[in-house]
């Protein structure tokens, strides 16, 4: 089973976790296309689809107050609909770039605060996390898993621990459903 991780280094932590997972580190100056090229080269090397792509990053919040206080569950309605991932980030404006890896990955697991969060009255708008994750699944032809709440993690080894809040499975056909129990435990794998 081959797994890859795209790790945005704004998510602080140590690399101990990645002894067994091939990792591409992104910074604010790294283009997502560099990460895609890395994934394509890895996929070509192994000669089959990548089983899981983990995305470890922050969900972006639109409040200076939050950046000072730290991100907590109370402030979920501040989600901007953006995942911090490299120079471009990941949002509804650029999710179509992910067509570049269409058909190369079976499962994408997004460990990012509020990736699947849709604020009250925000359905179909730029702050619609469920729409963002649905489009990510559609453009990559992969099953995407993401949570709608703030995710807590231990910076030592980037241990993501248990998911907080509801977690959703987004299928390439545009449907999504809440997952729990064994399906949810299988996602955590090494992370």
pLDDT in the model for residue 48: 92
- Provide, rounded to the nearest whole percent, the portion of the chain with pLDDT above 70: 67
Structural domain count of the chain:
1
**Residue range 152-177: average pLDDT?**
72
Round the average pLDDT of the chain to a whole number and report it. 79
Two structure tokens written together for 171: 């299928």
The predicted-structure confidence for 2-53, as pLDDT tens digits, reads as follows 889 898 888 776 655 556 788 899 999 999 999 999 999 999 999 999 999 9
pLDDT at 175 over 90: yes
Q: 110: which strand partners?
A: 55, 146
Alpha-carbon distance 167 to 115, whole Å?
10
DSSP assignments along 134-189, one per residue: HHHHHHHTSEEEEESSPPP-BTGGGB--S--S-EEEE-TTS-EEEE-HHHHHHHHT
**Residue range 139-168: average pLDDT?**
71
Rg over alpha carbons for the chain, rounded to the nearest Å, is 15
Full residue range of the structural domain in which residue 42 is found: 3-188
Distance of CA 154 to the CA centre of its chain: 17
């Amino acid at each position: 089973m081959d797994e890859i991780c795209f790790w945005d280094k704004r998510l602080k932590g140590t690399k101990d976790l990645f002894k067994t997972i091939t990792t591409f580190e992104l910074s604010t100056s790294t283009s997502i296309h560099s990460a895609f090229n890395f994934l394509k080269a890895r996929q070509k090397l192994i000669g089959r689809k990548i089983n899981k792509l983990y995305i470890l990053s922050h969900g972006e919040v639109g409040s200076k107050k939050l950046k000072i206080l730290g991100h907590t569950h109370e402030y979920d309605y501040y989600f901007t609909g953006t995942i911090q991932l490299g120079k471009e980030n990941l949002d509804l404006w650029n999710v179509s770039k992910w067509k570049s890896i269409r058909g190369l990955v079976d499962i994408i697991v997004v460990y990012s605060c509020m990736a699947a969060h849709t604020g009250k009255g925000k359905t179909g708008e730029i702050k619609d996390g469920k729409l963002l994750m649905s489009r990510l699944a559609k453009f990559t032809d992969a099953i995407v898993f993401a949570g709608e709440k703030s995710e807590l993690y231990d910076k030592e080894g980037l241990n993501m621990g248990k998911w907080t809040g509801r977690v959703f499975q987004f299928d390439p056909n545009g449907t999504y459903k809440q997952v729990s129990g064994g399906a949810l435990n299988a996602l955590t794998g090494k992370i």
